[in-house]
Chain A
Amino acid sequence: MIINGVSIDATFAEAFPMKATRAIITAQNEKWAMISAQAMTGFATSVIACGCEGAIERVLDPSETPDGRPGVAIMIFAMGGKGLAKQLETRAGQCVLTSPTSALFSGIDGGIRIPLGKNLRYFGDGFQVSKQISGKRYWRIPVMDGEFLAEATTGQVDAIGGGNFLVLAESQPQALAACEAAIEEMRKIPNVIMPFPGGVVRSGSKVGSKYKSLGASTNDAFCPTLKGMTKTDLSPEIESVMEIVIDGLTKEDIDKAMRVGIQAVCDLGAANGIKRISAGNYGGKLGPFHFHLQEIMA
C-alpha cells in the first residue's frame, strides 16, 4: 500500500489491556488549569518506569466543566486498577491540590469508582466539608488560597495501551515535522492520549537487552546509525525514525487516532521526505490487540 508516495508496511501495532481514568481540572483561567494538568501528567510517558501513562486529552470550554470555569481533561492509564488508583491519588495530591485556584472532578461517570478527592480530604485536618450534589459527593478542603473542591471519586474503565506507528523519513527535521502534523490531528480525537513528550517518541524499544538488568533496550533494527552494524529494518535513504504511541479507551478510538495520524503524515508525503510507515509489535504473541496499518488505512 502506498499513499502519496509513502509506503505503508503490511504489519501491525500490538497493544495491551490497561485500566484508565479521566479527570477534569479546572482553574480561574485556562493558563492555571493547564499548568496543573501538565504537572499531573508529567513523568507519565511509559508504565515501564513511570508507573502510569498520562497526558492531557483536551482543553475544555467553561460550558463543558462542572463548575463553569476553564478546564483541561487528563487521562491516566496503568497496567492494573490498584496502580492506577495509587498514581491518580498521588498526582492529584501533589499536582492539583497544590495548584492555585484548581478544582478536580471526575471525567468518567460509569466504571469502577476509584478515589479522587476521597482521601485528599484528610489534608483538611477535620475542617473539610462534604457536599453531596445530584448523587455525587464533593469535598471542600480548606487551603490557603480559599477552598480546594474535589469530587470524591472518578471512574476506572478497561482500556488499551500501546497502539503505535513509526514514521520513517529521509531526515530528522522531516520526521519530526510529520509527527507534529500527526499529533495535531490526533489530539482532536476524543478518548485517546499520546503520552510521550509532545506525543512523539524517538527512543522506541525492543524487548530484552544484552544487559541482564534491563528488560527493554533500543530498537536497533530501526536505529539509522546502526544500519551497517545490525539486522536493520531500514533502507539506505532512511535517516530518522520516530514513533507515536497511543493509549485509548477502546480499539475503535485508537483505530481512529491512528488513521488521522497516518493520514496527516501521508499528506506531507514523499515530497517532504516521508518514505514509510511501520509499527511496533512483538510478533503478535504478547498483546491481544492488533492494529493492522493497511486495514486501518484501507
Chain B
Amino acid sequence: MSALTFTLKSKPAQRVDMSPLVCQHLSGLSIAEISALTLQSGKLKLRVDELFTLTGSDTQDIVINNSADNLDFIGQDLDGGSITVNGDAGAYLAFGLKSGEIKVSGNAGLYAACEMKKGYLEIAGNAGDFLGAALPGNKMGMKGGTILVKGNVGERAGDHMRRGNILIEGNAGDYCGSRMTAGTIAVMGQTGRYLGYAMRRGTLLLWNQPKLSASFNDCGAHTLAFLPILFGSFKTLNSRFADASIAFNRVQRYAGDMSEMGRGEVLVKL
C-alpha cells in the first residue's frame, strides 16, 4: 500500500484550512470520498480534488507534495500515523498534535506545534513565531513530545510551554522560552533578547552565551548528571542533536526569571 499523496496543483489564492486531512479522519474512506471532502479556503469551500491530485491509498501515511506556505493547520490533532510535507507549511502546523509524526522539508509559519500534546514534529527549514506556544489567551502551550527545527525559529518559541522538548539547530528569536512553565528548549545557535522572559520553571539549554536579563541570577559552573541522559534521548533523531560529539554536561547555570517564580534555568555550555 503506497502513501496517500496529495499533490498541490497550484498555490491557492487564499489560505486553506487543511485540518480535515489527518490520518484518523481519513481512515476507512475511499479515494473518491476523500476527493469529495471540502476544505475551507477564504470564504469558499473547495473540494480536495480541486486543489490536489490524489494518488496512493495508505491513510496512515500521508504525503503532501508541492506544499505552500498558505496551507494552514496541517496535521491538526493528528492522533497516530505520519504526515510528510514536501515544501512549506502554513500557520498552525501540527496544532494540538496528539501522537504520530509530522515532517516538513521546507519552512513552517506561525504557531507551529501550538498546544502540541505528544508526538514528533520535524521542520527542516525555519519556523515562525510562537513555535510550541499556547493560543493567545490560553495558559498552556506545548504539553509533550519533541519538536526539531533544523533552521531558525521566530520570536516567542515555547511561550507558555508546559512539557516536552524543542530542539533548534539554528538561532532563536526574541523572547525564547517566555512564560515557560516547564520543559526543555535547546538552541545550538544564537538567542535573541529577553530570553526566558517571565519563565517559571523549565530549562533553556544553550550552546552560546546569551544576553540575559538582570532577573536571571548566576548559579555558577556545574556538571549536571541529567544532561548525558537528555542527550542520549536524542540519539535516534535525524539531527545534529544526535551527534555524540555535540553533547556536554558541564554548564554555567543561571536561575530565573526572578521577576516570576524563578525556578527556571538557563544552562550554557562551558
Across the interface, name the chain A residue whose C-beta is closest to B253: A147
User: Is A213 close to B, CB under 8 A?
Assistant: no
Residues in chain B near residue A138, CB distance under 8 A: 226, 229
How distant is the Cα of A138 from the Cα of B227 in the complex, in angstroms? Answer: 11
Interface residues of A in 112-145 (CB under 8 A from B): 126-127, 129-134, 138, 140
Across the interface, B226 reaches (CB within 8 A) one of A69, A126, A140, namely: A140
State whether the Cβ of B124 lies closer than 8 Å to any Cβ in chain A: no
User: Are A133's CB and B225's CB within 8 A?
Assistant: no
Chain A residues with CB below 8 A from B224, complex form: 140, 146-147
For B144, the closest partner residue in chain A by CB is A132
Tell me if B203 is interfacial: C-beta within 8 Å of chain A.
yes
A134 near B228 with CB under 8 A, answer no
Q: Please name all residues of chain B whose beta carbon is closer than 8 Å to the beta carbon of A132 when the two chains form the complex.
A: 144, 163
A68 touches B228 (CB 8 A): yes
Is B222 on the interface with A (CB-CB < 8 A)? yes
Chain A residues within an 8 Å CB radius of B265: 129
CA distance A214 to B228 in the complex (A): 51
Task: Determine which of A67, A127, A130 lies in contact with B228 in the assembled complex, contact meaning CB atoms within 8 Å.
Answer: A67
- For chain A, residues 170 to 196, give those with C-beta under 8 angstroms from any C-beta of chain B: none
A-facing residues in B253-268 (Cβ within 8 Å): 263, 265
Q: Are B222 and A147 in contact (CB under 8 A)?
A: yes
Partner of B203, one of A126, A131, A149: A131
A66 in the interface (beta carbon within 8 A): yes
Asked if B233 and A134 make an inter-chain contact with CB atoms under 8 angstroms apart, the answer reads yes
Contact with A along B223-238 (1 / 0, CB 8 A): 1111011101100000
Q: Is A13 close to B, CB under 8 A? A: no
User: Given A129-B263, A131-B184, A147 and B225 touching (CB < 8 A)?
Assistant: yes
Q: Which residues from B are CB-within-8-Å of A127? A: 263
A126–B225 alpha-carbon span in the complex (Å): 19
Give min CB distance, A68 to chain B, whole Å: 5
CB distance from B246 to the nearest CB of A (A): 15
Q: List B contacts of A149 (CB < 8 A).
A: 225-226, 229
- For A126, list chain B residues within 8 Å (CB): 263
Does any Cβ of A come within 8 Å of B182's Cβ?
A: yes
Tell me whether B117 is interfacial, beta carbon within 8 Å: no
Interface digits, B138-161 against A, CB 8 Å rule (1 contact, 0 not)? 000000100000000000000000
| Interface SS, A side | strand
Q: Provide the residues of chain B in CB contact with A147, threshold 8 Å.
A: 222, 224-226
B162 nearest CB across to chain A (Å): 11
The answer to whether B229 and A146 have CB atoms under 8 Å apart is no
CB contact list, B203-236 vs A, under 8 A: 203, 222-226, 228-230, 232-233
Across the interface, name the chain A residue whose C-beta is closest to B233. Answer: A134
**In the complex, A103 has a CB within 8 A of chain B:** yes
Size category of the B interface is 10 to 19
How long is the Cα–Cα vector from A147 to B226 in the complex, in angstroms? 9
Q: Does B179 contact A (CB under 8 A)?
A: no
Task: Decide yes or no whether B98 CB sits under 8 A from chain A.
Answer: no
- Chain B residues whose C-beta falls within 8 Å of the C-beta of A68 in the assembled complex: 228, 232
Q: For residue A67, which residues in chain B have a CB less than 8 angstroms away from its CB?
A: 225-226, 228-229
Q: How far is the CB of A62 from chain B (nearest CB, A)?
A: 10
Residue of A with least CB distance to B265: A129
Interface pair B182/A133, CB less than 8 Å apart: no
Give CA–CA (A68, B232) in the complex, Å.
10
- Chain A contacts for B229, CB-based, 8 A: 66-67, 133, 138, 149
Q: How far is the CB of A161 from chain B (nearest CB, A)?
A: 32
Instruction: Give the shortest distance, in Å, between A151 (CB) and chain B (any CB).
Output: 9
Nearest A residue to B219 via CB reads A142
B226 touches A133 (CB 8 A): yes
Given the interface contacts A131-B184, A132-B163, does A103 sit within 8 Å of B233 by beta carbon? no
A66 surroundings in chain B (CB, below 8 A): 229, 232
Assembly CA distance A132 to B230 (angstroms) = 9
Tell me how far the C-beta of B151 lies from the nearest C-beta in chain A, rounded to whole angstroms: 25
CB distance from A230 to the nearest CB of B (A): 56
A29 CB to closest chain B CB (Å) equals 14
Most chain A beta-carbon contacts within 10 A, residue among B163, B222, B224, B226: B226
Q: Which residue of A lies closest to B164 (CB)?
A: A132
Smallest CB-CB separation from A138: which chain B residue?
B226
In the complex, what's the smallest C-beta–C-beta distance from A118 to chain B, in angstroms? 16
- Complexed CA–CA distance, A146 and B226 (Å): 12
Please, how many angstroms separate the alpha-carbon atoms of A76 and B17 in the complex? 56
In B157-182, which residues have CB < 8 Å from any A CB?
163, 182
How far apart are the CA atoms of A67 and B63 in the complex, in Å? 38
Chain A interfacial positions (CB closer than 8 Å to B): 66-69, 103, 126-127, 129-134, 138, 140, 146-147, 149
The 7 A-B pairs with the shortest beta carbon distances in the complex, nearest first, are A149-B225, A134-B233, A133-B233, A103-B225, A68-B228, A67-B228, A149-B226
Name 24 A/B residue pairs within 8 A (Cβ), A-sorted: A67-B225, A67-B228, A69-B225, A126-B263, A127-B263, A129-B203, A129-B263, A129-B265, A130-B182, A131-B203, A131-B230, A133-B226, A133-B229, A134-B233, A138-B226, A140-B224, A140-B225, A140-B226, A146-B222, A146-B223, A146-B224, A147-B226, A149-B225, A149-B229
